[in-house]
Amino acid sequence: MELRFVRDTDKREGDFVVIKDGSPEFAVECKLSYAKASSKFEYFKQRTDIPRFYFVHLGKKDFGDDETEQRVLPLTTFCQELGMPKETITGTDQAILTPKNSRQKMLFHI
């Protein structure tokens, strides 16, 4: 498994892409709260072979679109669907993620 980011020559980018056996599994965009699913998803879907896109946030909104293969969901739901043990999600360990275009830091308790 590999963890990479995706960026084009015009500097449009996604926060990260999970690669397994040389093929992308899914891409993720992380935000503090839900605003609207990024148009970057559609842009990269048309130009790459990334099959699924997730917009992960700290809010409560959870919905998906099977046609566009995009999903908007809370961090806790995302972690649960990846099969992370519940004690990992609700524990006291912390990860600090800093989006490239933001001065705010996201503090995830996972």
Predicted local distance difference test score (pLDDT) of residue 91: 37
Asked if 56 and 74 count as a contact pair (C-beta separation under 8 A), the reply is yes
Q: Per the structure block, which two tokens stand in for 107?
A: 């503090």
Q: In the chain, what are the domain boundaries?
A: 2-84
Question: Residues 42-87: pLDDT tens digits?
Answer: 888 888 899 989 988 888 888 887 666 888 888 888 888 888 766 5
Question: Residues 7-37: pLDDT tens digits?
Answer: 888 888 888 899 999 999 999 988 887 766 6
Asked if 106 and 96 count as a contact pair (C-beta separation under 8 A), the reply is yes
Threshold 0.85, pTM exceeds: no
More confidently predicted of 31 and 100? 31
